Structure 1
Amino acid sequence: MRLLVSRHLENFLALYEAGNMRAAAQRKGVSQPALTKSLQLIENELDVELFERTHKGLVATETGHILYRHACAIEQEARFAALEISHMREAMGGRIKIGVGQVLAVSIFPALLADFHRRFPNVEASVEAGISNGLLQSLMRDNLDFVIAALPEASLPDKFVTLPLLSTDMVIICSTEHPLCREKEITAEALTAFRRVGFLEDREFESRARQCFGNRSEALRPILQTTSLNIMFGLLTTTDYYAIVSDMIVPKAEREGLAARNMEGGLWTLDVELICKASLVSSKPISAFKEAFSARTGKAG
């Protein structure tokens, strides 16, 4: 990919992300003087200062932030071009950056990634698991190439597209000894008598809960928020708390000694989609992931 992206632009990305000349030089495997000269060439070309030099390191200026945003987009497009070209001449190689929802990360996604790597063993993948809102922010900053997660209600910018993968229903999980397990079907009144454990910064949940529960949704505010399913499950097995999660996580929850319960009248359904830039949607890595997902779920592509 070196020929597709300027060496100086690569050096700038390293400096921005490291925030330190020494760390960036180590990351790039070059000397600090060489990195300094590379930065000066860009700054002279643009006639701007990209970083403020402080005793703590490098702090990006406003123009530095602007260049970083565009540099990430250039680097991403170059990586995907290199991936596709390498696939035409030999086994596809390169690097992809994927974001995946918390529940998917511990259910279907590991097998999906294994399928992809068996097909393309030379492609390096970095995976970030998180809440949809945060993953989409990273996607829009070009820090991720694509995201597999629940589709948000808010519309996406025009340059992004979504590919439907599956739909999943939300269920209640709690300890097998929980009083809710004695209910044939759980009512909103019964549910709001207990405290909920939720995912950190899950604003999408709050929006769906308001639609489903109306004024009662305030009673669903979490007593604890976490990014860890292990912490969530640990709390649920030892307290009378409950959680509302995708039914994809039920097999894992049951292995941890938890029970899944349905809400009277049901909760809500989430659409899981692959989200990426329109310019990348036909690329080989995106197509391969879509095919692997279809093969795993039995859904026609």
Structure 2
Amino acid sequence: MDHIWRLKHFLAIAELGSVQAAARHLNISQPALSKSLRELEQHLGSALFERSSRGVTLTQAGQAFLARSREIELQWDGALFDLTATRDGARGNLRIGVGPTYEAAFMAQVLARLLREFPNLQISVRTGVGAIMLPALNTGEIGIYFGGLRSGTESLASEVREIPLYDQSNRIVAAADDPLAAMAEVGAGALSARAWVQLSYDSLALERIEALFQTAGVPLPRTVVSTHSLGLALDLVRNKGFLTSLPEPLLHPRLGFGLAPLAVPGYDWRIATGISYRTSLAGTAPLKRMIAIVRDELGASGLGPDLVGGLHG
């Protein structure tokens, strides 16, 4: 039993880059964490970190042990979920990744419902696009990812499976009272003359917008704000006359009040979205319930089938 906690201690140090930060995160004393690490290194017969005044870095042995440790932790927590599910509502640590659209549209409701059923779970949530989260899923840094499924240029580890949920449309958006919103068709020339705000993490939208203007032979917009903040982007569109591109679920009245999609020929594209997960969590009670709850929220909220063409998978 001691070794699983030493392994978790090792993972915290590796992820945070210092014993001090890991001790704060784990809510244990720094001397106790240092002792745990020494005992693990003695047991393995190898140094896992190089120490310096700036923190710690993994040795070659530590890098090799990191990948194994993440998979062991996932398997341990998966077993813990199942062994405790019927007794006290499932205990263990669940690390998930959430894409920006799922974060804004679905996940608050999903997590609230899940924790009502499994109040003893500890859930760690990371947010980001698939280009960041899928590699983290491959290495075991997270166990589940809700968001865009892999594209043709991305690969998944053999221990990862996918559940497609819906195809997500993307639209060019203006304020609901913008003159462009009343037009039956909006050409690239009219869009080029306007100020734009772009979500910096949405590389696919950036590529599609650029292609739209290049195909029409009109210049790219001269005034562009690039931001990682969805809230700032929506405020600029609603109140300052900017244009942007958004996933269509964000135009649901609950989220996209004051916004309107524009009828732009040539800008009609979708991406597949769903759930990607490590096989070590397959069949566990929390994962099964999260899948069911996400499907339920997609259907009940109208953010899924009403806007993006229906659920499948």
Q: What TM-score does the superposition give when structure 2 sets the normalisation length?
A: 0.81
**Unpaired segments ≥5 residues, structure 2:** 300-310
1:178 — aligned with what? 178
1:81 paired with 2:79, answer: yes
SS at match of 2:220: helix
> What is the percent sequence identity of the aligned residues?
26
Q: CA deviation at 1:64?
A: 2.2
1:47-196 equivalence runs, <5 A = 47-153=45-151, 154-157=153-156, 158-196=158-196
Q: CA deviation at 1:201?
A: 3.3
In structure 2, C-alpha distance between the alignment counterparts of 1:73 and 1:262, rounded to whole Å: 47
1:284 — aligned with what? 285
1:205 paired with 2:202, answer: no
SS at match of 2:7: helix
Q: In the superposition, relative to structure 1, how do residues 266 and 118 fare at CA in structure 2: closer, same or farther (>3 Å)?
A: same
Tell me if structure 2 keeps the 8 A contact 1:254–1:260: no
In structure 1, C-alpha distance between the alignment counterparts of 2:226 and 2:169, rounded to whole Å: 21
Q: CA deviation at 1:110?
A: 1.9
Tell me if structure 1 keeps the 8 A contact 2:165–2:312: no
**Unpaired segments ≥5 residues, structure 1:** none
Q: CA deviation at 1:121?
A: 2.6
SS at match of 1:282: coil
In structure 2, C-alpha distance between the alignment counterparts of 1:236 and 1:141, rounded to whole Å: 38
Q: What TM-score does the superposition give when structure 1 sets the normalisation length?
A: 0.84
Q: In the superposition, relative to structure 1, how do residues 94 and 48 fare at CA in structure 2: closer, same or farther (>3 Å)?
A: closer
Q: In the superposition, relative to structure 1, how do residues 37 and 118 fare at CA in structure 2: closer, same or farther (>3 Å)?
A: closer
- Partner amino acid, structure 2, of 1:111: Q
C-alpha RMSD of matched pairs (Å): 3.0
Deviating more after overlay: 291-300 vs 145-154: 291-300
Q: In the superposition, relative to structure 1, how do residues 220 and 155 fare at CA in structure 2: closer, same or farther (>3 Å)?
A: farther
In structure 2, C-alpha distance between the alignment counterparts of 1:106 and 1:221, rounded to whole Å: 29
In structure 1, C-alpha distance between the alignment counterparts of 2:280 and 2:84, rounded to whole Å: 18
- Partner amino acid, structure 1, of 2:135: Q
1:239-250 equivalence runs, <5 A = 239-250=240-251
In structure 1, C-alpha distance between the alignment counterparts of 2:147 and 2:24, rounded to whole Å: 35
1:39 — aligned with what? 37
SS at match of 2:169: strand
Q: CA deviation at 1:143?
A: 2.1
Q: CA deviation at 1:103?
A: 1.9
**Equivalenced residues, count:** 298
Q: Give per-residue Cα distances to partners, 1:155-187, cap 9 Å, x unaligned.
A: 432322110122222112112343422421223
Q: In the superposition, relative to structure 1, how do residues 92 and 46 fare at CA in structure 2: closer, same or farther (>3 Å)?
A: closer
2:306 — aligned with what? none
Deviating more after overlay: 73-82 vs 135-144: 135-144
Q: In the superposition, relative to structure 1, how do residues 70 and 216 fare at CA in structure 2: closer, same or farther (>3 Å)?
A: farther
SS at match of 2:134: helix
